[in-house]
Amino acid sequence: MKKLFFCLFLSVLTFQVSAQNYQLHAVYMYQFTKYIKWPASGSSEFVIGVLGDTPAIEYLDKMAQTKKAGSKDIVIKKFKSLSGVTKTDMLFVGKEADAELSNIINKVKGQNTLLITEEEGFGLEGSNINFVERNGRLVFELNQKAMERESLKVSAELAKLAIVI
C-alpha cells in the first residue's frame, strides 16, 4: 500500500514540476517580446502560434488575456499540424509536435518568426530559441545565426541570460 501511495505521489509531483515548467515557458515567451525586436509590421496583433499538443497552451492563453507585446494584443493560435501553420510572430513547437525541425524551419523561413523549441539539440539544428533543462533548471539556448536568418534583433540583456550557440 505504501508503495502504491508513493508511486501516486511521485506521479503528481512530476506533473506539478512539468506544469510549473510550462508556466515558466509562458513567462519566458512573454519576456522575449520585450527583449527581441521584430521588423516593423502593420498588424495590431502579436501572434504566438503553438504547434502540437502541449501544456504550455493553457499558460499562454492566460498570459494573452492580461498582457500585451508592446502596444499589440497577444493572440494565441493553436496548430494541430505543420500544414495548418500560418504567419506568426512567434511559433512554439512542443515536444508532442509530429514534424521534423527542418520542415518547420522551411515553413517559417523569411517570415520574421521567432521559432522556439524544447528538444535537446534543436538549438544547434536551427531553432532560434530552444528550452533545455540544465541542473534541474529550465534555461534556453539562443542561436544567433537563426536570429539573423529571421532578421530578429536580440538585446544584450537577453543574450547574457542565454546559452548562446
- Determine contact, residues 114/154, Cβ cutoff 8 Å: no
SS3 content of the chain, % helix, strand, coil (to 5): 45, 25, 30
In this predicted structure, the answer to whether residue 30 has a pLDDT above a threshold of 90 is: yes
In this predicted structure, the answer to whether residue 46 has a pLDDT above a threshold of 60 is: yes
Rounded-to-integer distance, Cα 109 and Cα 118, Å: 19
50-84 tens-digit pLDDT? 999 899 999 999 999 999 999 999 999 999 999 99
The single-letter code of the amino acid at 111 is Q
Query: Is 94 or 126 the better-scoring residue by pLDDT?
Result: 126
pLDDT band at 147 (very low <50, low <70, confident <90, very high): very high
Q: Which domains does the chain have, with CATH numbers?
A: 2-164 (3.40.50)
Distance of CA 23 to the CA centre of its chain: 11
> Which phi and psi (to 5°) does residue 2 adopt?
-60, -40
What pLDDT does residue 97 have? 77
What pLDDT does residue 141 have? 97
